[in-house]
Amino acid sequence: MALPDLNLLVTLDVLLDEGSVTRAGARLALSPSAMSRALARLRRATGDPLLVRAGRGLVPTPRALELRDRVRHLVRDAEEVLRPAAAPALAALERTFALRTGDGFVERFGPELVAEVGRVAPGVRLRFLRKAVKDTGSLRAGGVDLETGVVDRPLPPDVVATPLFTDRFVGVVRAEHPLASGEVTTARYTAARHVHVSRRGRTDGLVDAALAGDGPDPARRDVVTVVDGFGAALAMARASDLVATVPERHTETLRDGMHAFALPFPAPEVVVSLLWHARFDADPAHRWLRDLVRGVTTGRAAAVPR
């Protein structure tokens, strides 16, 4: 059985609204002859004349009157389906978003994010998850809406990423540490005892590569302990004479009351990005939250959709 031509619904809607083949043709940019052929097709499809002559005009049949409201609603619904989604009514939006973030992100940016969400979308809830491993499986499975991290390898084609900010590493010690006063030279830095951050338990990383440089006699840190997060490293440094070398912006809140210093060698920098699955790319509420995260992390207020 042949499928009906759904374009005829639009034609019927205009014909029943105008009650005139000529005026309907003008609205649809069709010639009178093309409009007459379309009416003939409608009559065959419905088995009803739909519009019949009465004097010098056309009047609808009972079947046409029965169909008029139904056709109008069908056409309006189809137009809504084929139109880009409207901006969400944030004040009435009720939705929970899961954000998987690296160590320090929630402490640094979480309070402002939650406050901004509560201000414009009080029905939205944010669920922050600790990023224990580096993979995109949760994004693809739908368990996570947004993720932050450093993209250091090609992403799957169905995962989208945009840079948020660039972070650079700094040294951090307790306020009474010897490195809290005077110039921090490479010799003083390497002579200290260090706590290193590695989720995989490694004793070296970006900082050590930058410290070693390209010279024949590379400098080395004395790494005496390894932890799996910046928060743990800073807690160790706060309570001892260990030096923690951590990203500056990510850890701003975590190192409150401690002394931070610029590294005496070219500090490594990392670009922190925001990641999401492609199926949410055009979702208006998801787009609003992405813009909000960008606004908070870059210090620019995100625009509220109207």
Measured at the CA of 62, the angle between CA 59 and CA 65, to 5 degrees, comes to 75
How many angstroms separate the CA atoms of 144 and 220, rounded?
A: 39
Q: Which CATH number fits domain 167-270: 3.40.605.10, 3.40.718.10, 3.30.9.10, 3.40.190.10?
A: 3.40.190.10
pLDDT digit of tens for each residue in the chain (306 aa)? 567 788 888 888 888 888 888 888 888 888 888 988 988 999 998 899 988 988 778 888 999 888 888 988 888 888 777 766 667 789 999 999 999 998 889 999 999 999 999 999 999 999 999 887 777 888 888 899 999 999 888 888 899 999 999 999 999 999 999 999 999 999 999 999 999 999 888 988 999 999 988 667 789 999 999 998 999 999 999 999 999 999 999 899 999 999 999 999 999 999 999 999 999 998 999 999 999 999 999 876 554 443
In this structure, the number of other CB atoms found within 10 A of the CB of residue 48 comes to 17
How far from chain centre, in Å, is Cα 44? 50
Q: What pTM was estimated for this model as a whole?
A: 0.71
pLDDT score, position 104? 87
Q: What is the third-level CATH fold of 7-81?
A: Arc Repressor Mutant, subunit A (1.10.10)
Residues of the chain with CATH 3.40.190.10: 90-165+274-298, 167-270
CATH class of 90-165+274-298: alpha beta
pLDDT score, position 304? 46
pLDDT tens digit sequence for 248-276? 998 999 999 999 999 999 999 999 999 99
Scanning the structure block, which residue is given the tokens 């046409």? 64
Residues of the chain with CATH 1.10.10.10: 7-81
pLDDT score, position 138? 86
